Amino acid sequence: MYEDFCNRALNEVSDDSPGATISRLGPNAGWRFWLAIVLTGLGTGASAAALTLMLQAVQHIMWPGNAATLLDAAAQATPWRHIVVLLGAGLVTGAGQIVLVRLTSSNSIDITEAIWFSAGRLPALRTLGSAVLSVILVGMGASLGREGAPKQAGAVIANVLSDKTGLSDEQRRLLVACGAGAGMAAAYGVPLGGALFALEVLRGMLALRLVLPALLTSLIATATAFVVLPDAPTYIIPHFDSSAINLALALLVGPIAGLVSVGFVRTIAWADRNRPRHGRRLIAPVLALGVLGLVSIPFPQLLGNGKDIAQLAFANEIPFALLLALLVLKPAATVLCLGSGVPGGLFTPSLALGALLGAVVGQVFALVWPDVQPALVAIVGAGAVLAATTQGPISAVVLMMELTGQDRSFIVPLLLAVVMATLVSRLIEPRSIYDARLTDEEIAQRQKLREPAKR
* Residues recorded for the chain: 455
Residue 246 pLDDT class (50, 70, 90 cuts): confident
With beta carbons less than 8 A apart as the criterion, state whether 415 and 400 touch: no
Which of 306, 390, 393 lies closest to 355 in space, CA to CA? 306
Check residue 300 and give its pLDDT: 96
Check residue 323 and give its pLDDT: 96
Q: Is 167 helix (H, G, I), strand (E, B) or coil?
A: coil
Check residue 122 and give its pLDDT: 86
Check residue 119 and give its pLDDT: 80
Burial per residue of 111-139, b for 16 or more beta-carbon CB atoms within 10 angstroms, e otherwise? bbbbbbbbbbbbbbebbbbbbbbbbbbbb
Residue 102 pLDDT class (50, 70, 90 cuts): confident
Taking CA atoms, 450 is separated from 16, 136, 445, in Å, by 14, 36, 9
Name residue 387's amino acid.
A
Which of 223, 212, 145, 135 lies closest to 185 in space, CA to CA? 223
Between 298 and 233, name the one with better pLDDT: 298
Query: Residue 389 pLDDT more than 70?
Result: yes
Query: How far is residue 371's CA from residue 416's CA, in Å, rounded to a whole number?
Result: 19
Average pLDDT over residues 144-167: 93
Check residue 449 and give its pLDDT: 62
345 beta partners: 145
For the question of whether the overall pTM of this predicted structure is more than 0.85, the answer is: yes
**% of the chain exceeding 90 in pLDDT:** 63
Average pLDDT over residues 219-238: 90
- Where on the phi/psi map is residue 121: left (φ > 0), alpha (ψ -120 to 50), or beta? beta
Check residue 180 and give its pLDDT: 95
Least confident of 27-31, 146-150, 259-263: 27-31
Least confident of 4-18, 39-53, 176-190: 4-18
Residue 259 pLDDT class (50, 70, 90 cuts): very high
Q: Is 253 helix (H, G, I), strand (E, B) or coil?
A: helix
Query: Residue 161 pLDDT more than 60?
Result: yes
Write phi, then psi, for 210 (nearest 5 degrees).
-95, -10
pLDDT tens-digit profile of 311-356? 999 999 999 999 999 999 999 999 999 999 999 999 999 999 999 9
Query: Residue 358 pLDDT more than 90?
Result: yes
How is residue 300 annotated by DSSP? G
Between 447 and 17, name the one with better pLDDT: 447
Check residue 114 and give its pLDDT: 83
**% of the chain exceeding 70 in pLDDT:** 88
Residue 22 pLDDT class (50, 70, 90 cuts): very low
Q: Which domains does the chain have, with CATH numbers?
A: 8-225 (1.10.3080.10), 244-450 (1.10.3080.10)
298 CB burial (10 A radius; 0-12, 13-18, 19+) = exposed
Query: How far is residue 344's CA from residue 89's CA, in Å, rounded to a whole number?
Result: 13
With beta carbons less than 8 A apart as the criterion, state whether 83 and 135 touch: no
With beta carbons less than 8 A apart as the criterion, state whether 250 and 362 touch: no
Q: Is 191 helix (H, G, I), strand (E, B) or coil?
A: helix
pLDDT tens-digit profile of 392-417? 999 999 999 999 987 777 899 999 99
Average pLDDT over residues 23-44: 79
Query: How far is residue 128's CA from residue 270's CA, in Å, rounded to a whole number?
Result: 25
Average pLDDT over residues 228-235: 86
With beta carbons less than 8 A apart as the criterion, state whether 23 and 13 touch: yes
Check residue 19 and give its pLDDT: 38
Which of 339, 386, 24, 411 lies closest to 200 in space, CA to CA? 386
Query: Residue 1 pLDDT more than 60?
Result: no
Query: How far is residue 328's CA from residue 353's CA, in Å, rounded to a whole number?
Result: 9
Q: Is 258 helix (H, G, I), strand (E, B) or coil?
A: helix
